[in-house]
């Protein structure tokens, strides 16, 4: 029999209170996140997503990544991200979101440095991490009240493991090349002006670059043309407003850059598969007391 004793002193990765587990998910092959949650970010929490089988594509900030079985992806707070819904249906994934994450040496709700590669191949650590993530999800799925504390502490343990794994295995970031710097400038322009009516020519004029070259460079990096990215950003922001505020649909249309609410409804249905009103009803059932809402939603 072997006994392993924990050291009396060891380094800590968390500052202050432990992070809080927000939600978990486990997606099987043939399933997709429905309704889809396109280009969006989370201001006050980060996500951890493990690909357990299959291959899919994610866009994070201004980069498109291909991930497959054994890869884990960390999405820091504030990072815009999007998933290829068609590819995602052929994958299985498991993960969770946490808030109040305070890692030594990093801003709040960041697990890895902003310039680090968010994708890590777990290698020999895959089975350990996979088992823990599935356990966290399944415990909450059995009984949220009874297993909330256990799930919370296990999730904190996974974050601590990932901090060390990224430090040990992550490849160093290469200096950005000229095209990457241009892509970031394009993204920042769109992120700043997405509520306005602008064209590819407007971006080119603002960045002193050829509009067609801009479109080529941006699509090569993100998988979207600049204008496609702008539309997905508008719809993604609209989803957040529909689910989290009481603004009218007409108000939300204007807030995300659509002067015509009819056009907004058409574009929203095209990308999400339902009208804004129907989408809102999923999250804000009319005449329903919030305390009577179910505590868990099947993913």
Q: Is 118 within 8 Å of 60 (Cβ atoms)?
A: yes
pLDDT of residue 58: 87
pLDDT of residue 158: 96
Q: What percent of the chain has pLDDT over 90?
A: 60
CA-wise closest residue to 50 among 158, 142, 169, 172: 158
Rounded Cα gap, residues 283 and 99, in angstroms:
20
Walk across the sheet containing 63-68 and list its strands. 63-68, 55-60, 81-83
Number of other CB atoms surrounding residue 38 within 10 Å: 22
pLDDT of residue 298: 40
CA-wise closest residue to 81 among 100, 95, 69, 101: 95
Question: Token pair 């990096």 is at which residue?
Answer: 221
pLDDT of residue 30: 64
CA-wise closest residue to 229 among 277, 279, 193: 193
pLDDT at 57 over 90: no
Over residues 246-272, mean pLDDT: 94
Number of other CB atoms surrounding residue 245 within 10 Å: 13
pLDDT of residue 114: 87
pLDDT of residue 286: 52
Over residues 270-278, mean pLDDT: 92
For the record, the structure tokens of 283 come out as: 């999250």
pLDDT at 48 over 60: yes
Reported as a single tens digit per residue, the pLDDT across 63-75 is: 888 999 999 999 9
Q: Which residues pair with 60 in a beta bridge?
A: 63, 81
User: Exposed (0-12), middle (13-18) or buried (19+): which is 259, by Cβ within 10 Å?
Assistant: exposed
pLDDT of residue 181: 86
pLDDT of residue 299: 39
Question: Token pair 């889809």 is at which residue?
Answer: 36
Mean pLDDT of the chain: 87
- Helix (H, G, I), strand (E, B), or coil: what is residue 161? helix
Reported as a single tens digit per residue, the pLDDT across 108-151 is: 999 999 888 899 999 999 999 999 999 999 998 887 788 999 99
Reported as a single tens digit per residue, the pLDDT across 219-228 is: 988 889 999 9
pLDDT of residue 175: 56
Reported as a single tens digit per residue, the pLDDT across 175-206 is: 566 678 899 899 999 999 999 999 999 999 99
Overall pTM > 0.85: no
Interstrand relation of 45-53 and 92-99 (parallel, antiparallel or unpaired): antiparallel
Over residues 149-168, mean pLDDT: 93
């Amino acid at each position: 029999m072997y006994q392993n004793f924990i050291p009396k002193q060891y380094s800590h990765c968390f500052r202050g209170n432990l992070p809080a587990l927000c939600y978990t998910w486990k997606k099987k092959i043939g399933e997709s996140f429905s309704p889809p949650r396109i280009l969006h970010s989370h201001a006050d929490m980060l996500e951890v997503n493990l690909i357990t089988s299959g291959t899919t594509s994610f866009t994070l900030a201004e980069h498109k990544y291909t991930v497959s079985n054994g890869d884990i992806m960390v999405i820091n707070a504030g990072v815009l991200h999007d998933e290829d819904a068609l590819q995602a249906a052929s994958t299985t994934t498991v993960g969770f979101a946490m808030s109040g994450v305070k890692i030594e040496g990093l801003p709040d709700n960041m697990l890895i440095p902003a310039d680090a590669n968010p994708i890590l191949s777990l290698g020999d650590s895959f089975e350990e991490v996979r088992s823990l993530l599935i356990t966290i999800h399944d415990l909450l799925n059995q009984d949220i009240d009874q297993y909330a504390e256990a799930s919370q502490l296990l999730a904190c343990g996974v974050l601590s493991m990932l901090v060390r794994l990224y430090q040990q295995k992550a490849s160093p970031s290469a200096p950005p090349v000229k095209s990457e710097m241009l892509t970031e400038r394009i993204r920042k322009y769109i992120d700043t002006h997405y509520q306005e009516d602008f064209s590819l020519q407007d971006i080119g004029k603002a960045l002193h670059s050829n509009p067609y070259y801009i479109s080529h460079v941006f699509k090569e990096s993100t998988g979207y043309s600049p204008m496609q990215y702008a539309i997905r950003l508008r719809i993604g922001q609209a989803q957040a407003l529909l689910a989290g505020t009481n603004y009218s649909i007409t108000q939300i249309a204007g807030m995300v850059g659509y002067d015509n609410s009819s056009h907004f409804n058409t574009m929203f249905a095209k990308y999400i598969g339902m009208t804004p009103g129907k989408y809102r009803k999923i999250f804000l059932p009319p005449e329903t007391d919030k305390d009577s809402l179910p505590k868990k939603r099947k993913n």
